[in-house]
Each structure stands twice: as structure tokens, then as C-alpha cells.
Amino acid sequence: MPLFNTQNAKTTKGEPLGYKTYVLYLSSGDKSGREVCKNRSVGCFDTCLDNCGRGQMESVQNARMLKTRYFWNSPLLFRANLDLEIKAAIRNAKPAAVPVFRLDGTSDLGLGISLARNNPTAQFYDYTKDYNRMKLYFSGKLPNNYHLTFSWSGNNATACLDVLSLGGNVAAVFDGGMPDTFYGYPVIDGDTHDLRFLDPSPCVVGLKAKGKAKHDTSGFVVRVPSC
């Protein structure tokens, strides 16, 4: 069973721009009995991609659970197999489909850091709610080919503002329309593609509330007042 997925409605939007995204999807939260998103909020877990759309299908849930248990039970072998898939994707890449890699599709483990070091010619990127990882990112202690976007959780406004003040980007989910600014920073449409390493900075990456997110009341989804 391949560990990476390349057929996601959001990530395939990068293909017309010349990129092919390989995403690793694990079972989110503590579904596997072990936590993979230690900084998650109630709202982000409930509306996670892992719990919506195709993620609700039994076959998809089972596949993600198998991968997650594989990771926890055999972490070295798991990373070795990921590295083999990454190297194969790079080796077999077509000129118009540059491979890029997102290791925390439905987790927040920082798996891409070591793999970015092992594959310095490839682009890696992730979203995270781990403020300590963002501080490492800003201090230059993470690989140059590893891009991070911080994520709004509904209860981390101070950390989000700090990230923006340092020149980083913050992703946030909005409902009721996309504002021009958020906390004084410009908002860009993050749904046009998932290639966050192409975004200008500092900015807020606006994502439209979809599915369960439309009904979130936890603060994870930012409500935009109607005019």
C-alpha cells in the first residue's frame, strides 16, 4: 500500500502550476490510540479533512489507520519507506509536474523535517499548530526546503499574531465570505491551490468553511459579519 496520496481535490489544483503534491494522511487526533495532533482544538479536530468528505469512507479510514499504526509500531521502517517513495517520485517526475511533499496532511508530527534533510533538492511544506516548531522555522534551524504555515485553532490568537509579526503566514478558516484583512494583515485566497510555499508573506491564508466547518461554533471557524 503506497503511503502517499496524490488525488486530493485541493492539492491537484497545483498541477496546472507545474507541481504534483504527495500527501501523507494519517488517522487524525488520537483515533489510533496515540496522539498525532497534540495542539489540536475541538473545532479543528471535528472539521478535520480526516473526518469529512472521502475521509468518512470506511475504506479510507481503514487505510489511514493502518498507516498510523505502522508509523507507531515501526517508526524507522515507516520513515525509510517514505524516503523510498519520495526518491521514486523525484526520480520519475515529469518536467511539468515537479513533486512536492506534505507529510502532515491530517497530523502535526513534523515528519517532513528529517525527510526534507534527506532530500534537499525537493520542496516540502506543511501546516502546523506547533508554535515551538514555528520558532525553529524562524530561527533557521529547519531545512531551507521545508516551508511552514501556522494554523489558527480558535484559541491561539497570540501565537498567530506573533507568527505574522515575524513575517510568517497563518491559515484560517472563514465562513460568510473572505475578509480583506484579519488582525490587520492581508488575506489571500488559500483555496486556489495548496502550494503554500508560493504564498507572499506575511499574510493570512483564507480557507472557505466547507462541510462540517459551516456548523462550527468553537471559534475555529472565523465568522465574517455580513454587510
Residues near 194 by Cβ (< 8 Å), separated by ≥ 6?
Answer: 8, 10, 11, 13, 14, 21, 102
pLDDT at 50: 63
* Position with higher pLDDT, 23 vs 223: 23
Percent of the chain with pLDDT over 90: 77
- pLDDT digits 0-9 by tens, 175-198: 988 999 999 999 999 999 999 999
User: The cell 498510523 sits on which residue?
Assistant: 68
* Helices 157-165, 131-138: inter-axial angle, 10-degree rounding: 10
Provide the whole-model pTM: 0.93
All structural domains of the chain with their residue ranges: 4-223
* Position with higher pLDDT, 223 vs 205: 205
